[in-house]
Structure 1
Amino acid sequence: MARIGAKSRDTIEPSVLDRLNLGTEESASLSEALAVDFGILLGHVVPSVTPEEQQRVTNAAGLGFKKRMNLAATVLVEHLGNNAAELLQQHPSDTARGWAAFVIGNSDYLSLGEKLSAVRSLADDRHFGVREWAWLALRPAIAADLTQALVWLLPWAMSESENIRRFAIEATRPRGVWSKHIQKLKESPAMGQVLLNEVMEDSSRYVQDSCGNWLNDAAKSNPQWVVDFCAQWQEKSSSVATSYIIKRGLRNVA
């Protein structure tokens, strides 16, 4: 039976926090993931790390979570080299696997296509948090080469895995969560239509929510396009999935 995660840091059992910091157990809630001591975990994940490298990560405890993930990834590459992600992708710790995603996303020698290929297993990870880190880590590269990214992501939007389909949508949300906006998609959401069309009748609520949120993002800067797009789909499909997505996408449109 899956462990029920703590709802706040204060309610995390000390023994659970110890295992999280040792890297022997996965977090079971966002509160647990946020409570992990990166410095301690780094020392257990990579025992050969130097005290100075470990201290760099510890000193960043007051930074935002995404900045801490990026810093840990930087330290790992400096210590382990370009194969750092490969060494971490199967680690028992969800945080360590998240670091692997940022190592891939931050790489300056991998092409966008190579980054997507390398992160795919993490995008389809069993853990909810790792799946979030996967798209967050790749989002800057996707935004920087959006036209090509949409080509690469089309087969993802058609994947048998709901996790992979959701990655394609979540990674390209015009506004997104914990991430910079993609200005091109805010101004021209029609660019993302090629992906949206593949999931507008998706059977997975996980994907439906992401698609509805994508449309809600777009509606904040281009409401008429979203209204027109949803109207076209209302004519095409009377499915429960499509109706749910449209309702979610238009929830803030007057």
Structure 2
Amino acid sequence: MPDAFKNLINHTTVRDTAQALQMQWPALDRQRFEQMASQGLDELEMKARAMQIAEALDACLPVDLHAAASLIEAALAPVRTTDADAGDTSGPGAGLNGWVVWSLGEFVARRVERQPADLHRGLDCLHALTQRFTAEFAIRPLLRDHPSQVWPVLARWAADPSPAVRRLASEGSRPRLPWGLRLHASVRDPSPAFDLLEKLQDDPDEVVRRSVANHLNDIAKDHPELLADWLDRHLPGASPARQALLRHASRTLIKQGHPRVMAAWGLGRRFKGDANFSITPARAEVGESVELALTLRSGARQAQTLVIDYAVHHVTARGQTSAKVFKGWKLTLAAGETRTLSRRHSLKPITTRRYYAGWHAVTVQANGAPLAEAGFHLD
């Protein structure tokens, strides 16, 4: 994880958190809390930092969850009205908000695990926390362990006045939330979320709608036919906002060329014509980039709507290859038209991808069907 990102949780975060809590509860052993939360912090990655602060909270806050939750709520910053400051950390005297809320939510989840009778008090606290950052990670173990009690709460939250709470109803119940606990029951059967997703897909807040799209895309990875069924019901007559949501929800299956999903978007037909694909330079180094050039010559008598993606077959540490699909272009090619498309593809390392030397094949697909192939050698 890039240093600049993990350092959003830092020693200042710990100090400001201690100050905000002590203002509400003078009995806090601030020295112990700061020592536990800060120990070896610079060597930890981001999630480990959040978990270490949660452990310090667990050790230093009142044992009774009701008392601890009331203390946390009293120490919170004012409710955010926009997402512009979503990544901000707490400042002296400003109250708790930003990245430390991840740790606060984890603390609540751990206490509920040990004090399950206080589940609803914990949920009330997460309702407050998510309006200062997010509680999408903390809600997941509660949903796993107490589904019959948590799903009705999420259904109510789907109608909450706060967009942050409405987003939590969708985001917190995603089957495959990145960085979050996988909800295996929802992977197997996503239907408990259908009612709240249907309510939220036309939410006035774009952030809420984006969460619904990502939730539906999670479902599509395990149950593609359910996503196709969803499109059959909700795409006809959809508003532009809902169309955008459903298009984002369809992205995985469009890349895979799923027949029903492609047909729902009018993309079911194979490209008719010729394609010439090239990559320059032929050799590149990590940190550089290569230029992709694709020339299409239509052989059809009518216009063709095309979604073109490309897959880079990365060399792995074991000398094998692993394909990663990237978005390319969406276009309508007129009958008999010739068009050249270009894209610069970066080879700069990122958190989730390391590069290894060797031949990297690149395949282009149109409407999910293979179209052309080229490649480059990474030195």
TM norm structure 2: 0.52
Give 1:34's aligned residue.
9
Give, as a single letter, the amino acid of the residue that structure 1 aligns with 2:129.
Answer: L
Aligned-pair CA distance for 1:142: 1.3
* 1:129-144 equivalent positions in 2, closer than 5 A: 130-131=133-134, 134-144=135-145
Pair 1:248 & 2:248 matched = yes
Give, as a single letter, the amino acid of the residue that structure 2 aligns with 1:69.
Answer: A
Aligned-pair CA distance for 1:249: 0.5
Give 2:84's aligned residue.
none
Contact 1:212–1:248 (CA under 8 A) maintained in structure 2: yes
Provide the C-alpha distance between the structure 2 equivalents of 1:191 and 1:77, rounded to a whole number of angstroms. Answer: 32
CA RMSD of aligned residues (A): 2.6
Pair 1:87 & 2:71 matched = yes
* 1:109-148 equivalent positions in 2, closer than 5 A: 109-110=115-116, 111-125=118-132, 130-131=133-134, 134-148=135-149
* 1:183-198 equivalent positions in 2, closer than 5 A: 183-198=184-199
Structure 1: unaligned runs, 5 residues or longer: 1-7, 11-29
CA deviation map 1:101-136 (0-9, x unaligned): 2332221225433321222122223xxxx22xx221
Contact 1:115–1:138 (CA under 8 A) maintained in structure 2: no
Provide the C-alpha distance between the structure 2 equivalents of 1:230 and 1:138, rounded to a whole number of angstroms. Answer: 28
Aligned-pair CA distance for 1:162: 1.3
Aligned-pair CA distance for 1:179: 0.7
Pair 1:219 & 2:220 matched = yes
Provide the C-alpha distance between the structure 2 equivalents of 1:223 and 1:88, rounded to a whole number of angstroms. Answer: 42
Q: Which of 156-165 and 77-86 deviates more?
A: 77-86
Give, as a single letter, the amino acid of the residue that structure 1 aligns with 2:110.
Answer: N
Aligned-pair CA distance for 1:147: 3.7
Provide the C-alpha distance between the structure 2 equivalents of 1:43 and 1:121, rounded to a whole number of angstroms. Answer: 19
Give, as a single letter, the amino acid of the residue that structure 1 aligns with 2:120.
Answer: G
Contact 2:105–2:129 (CA under 8 A) maintained in structure 1: yes
Pair 1:175 & 2:182 matched = no
Contact 1:199–1:208 (CA under 8 A) maintained in structure 2: yes
Structure 2: unaligned runs, 5 residues or longer: 23-27, 77-94, 258-379
Residues matched between the structures, number: 221
Compared CA separation, residues 215 and 97, structure 1 to 2 (3 A): closer
TM norm structure 1: 0.75
Contact 1:142–1:149 (CA under 8 A) maintained in structure 2: yes
Compared CA separation, residues 163 and 248, structure 1 to 2 (3 A): same
Provide the C-alpha distance between the structure 1 equivalents of 2:245 and 2:119, rounded to a whole number of angstroms. Answer: 29
Provide the C-alpha distance between the structure 2 equivalents of 1:124 and 1:39, rounded to a whole number of angstroms. Answer: 20
Give, as a single letter, the amino acid of the residue that structure 1 aligns with 2:35.
Answer: Q
* 1:91-106 equivalent positions in 2, closer than 5 A: 91=76, 92-94=95-97, 95-106=99-110
Compared CA separation, residues 217 and 59, structure 1 to 2 (3 A): same
Provide the C-alpha distance between the structure 1 equivalents of 2:232 and 2:204, rounded to a whole number of angstroms. Answer: 20
- Larger fraction in helix: 1
CA deviation map 1:18-58 (0-9, x unaligned): xxxxxxxxxxxx66633455554455445643645433322
Provide the C-alpha distance between the structure 1 equivalents of 2:14 and 2:206, rounded to a whole number of angstroms. Answer: 36
Q: Which of 64-73 and 204-213 deviates more?
A: 64-73
Contact 1:138–1:171 (CA under 8 A) maintained in structure 2: yes
Pair 1:49 & 2:26 matched = no
Q: Which of 78-87 and 152-161 deviates more?
A: 78-87
Aligned-pair CA distance for 1:252: 1.1
Provide the C-alpha distance between the structure 2 equivalents of 1:60 and 1:87, rounded to a whole number of angstroms. Answer: 27
Compared CA separation, residues 115 and 223, structure 1 to 2 (3 A): same
Provide the C-alpha distance between the structure 2 equivalents of 1:52 and 1:161, rounded to a whole number of angstroms. Answer: 36
SS in 2 for 1:173: coil
Contact 1:84–1:100 (CA under 8 A) maintained in structure 2: no
Which of the two has higher C-alpha Rg?
2
Give 1:70's aligned residue.
51
Identity of aligned pairs, percent?
21
Compared CA separation, residues 97 and 221, structure 1 to 2 (3 A): closer
Contact 1:170–1:214 (CA under 8 A) maintained in structure 2: yes
SS in 1 for 2:9: helix
- Larger fraction in strand: 2
